[in-house]
Amino acid sequence: MPPGARPALFRLMKKLLTPLLLLLGSVLFLGGCGTYDNQLVVVGLRLELAGITRAADGSVAVTWQLVNPNIAPYLMARIGQTVSLNGTVVGTTLDTDPMAFTAQSTTNKTSKLSLAGPAAERVLADAIAKGSAAYHVDAQVVIQLYGDSVEHSVISGSGSVPVTGK
């Protein structure tokens, strides 16, 4: 390399270094915006079943509660649940009326359970005879953030639930 070429190269690098660093920084920043984990929105929320009741007319109601230990309230635009008893999916619920869940509280709600078929009927009948069952519930929720902005998330819960028939 000729003796005068080295200083010229360094001057060129100094001129290009700042724009290149700004370009690299903005690419990394904007690239990171797309990797937002929507599960962060529901951190701490717990969904628990409090009871399942079959009425005399054959309809089934699920009483559930959402536990919100956070300092922020939530407005759920829609909640759809898939309920399993003793490892078998017994049905689904769908609540499309907006529901508010205040900060640091537990909110109870009862929803109609749409049974998943004859196998679900048998599992439910066995649970009624026993008086309780192990449950697992997955809720697909649409959280109203602000205006028309919403976030889709999943909240799960499991445990034991009393099951009764009238």
Residue 64 contacts residue 37 (beta carbons within 8 Å): no
Phi, psi (degrees; rounded to nearest 5) at 7? -60, -35
Instruction: Please compute, for residue 82, the number of CA atoms within 13 A of its CA located in the half-sphere on the CB side.
Output: 9
Residue 161 contacts residue 132 (beta carbons within 8 Å): yes
CA distance linking residue 6 with residue 52, whole number of Å: 80
166 residues of the chain, pLDDT tens digit each: 565 556 766 676 677 666 666 666 666 665 555 444 444 567 888 999 999 999 999 999 999 999 999 998 889 999 999 999 999 999 999 999 999 999 999 999 999 999 999 999 999 999 999 999 999 999 999 988 877 788 899 999 999 999 999 8
- Shared domain for 31 and 80, answered yes or no, is no
Please give the tally of structural domains in the chain.
Answer: 2
- Shared domain for 89 and 16, answered yes or no, is no
**pTM of structure:** 0.73
- Shared domain for 73 and 120, answered yes or no, is yes
- Shared domain for 45 and 20, answered yes or no, is no
Provide the residue range defining the domain that includes 32: 1-36
CA distance linking residue 114 with residue 140, whole number of Å: 16
What is the DSSP code string of 2-48? -TTHHHHHHHHHHHHHHHHHHHHHHHHHHHHHTT--GGGGGTT-EEE
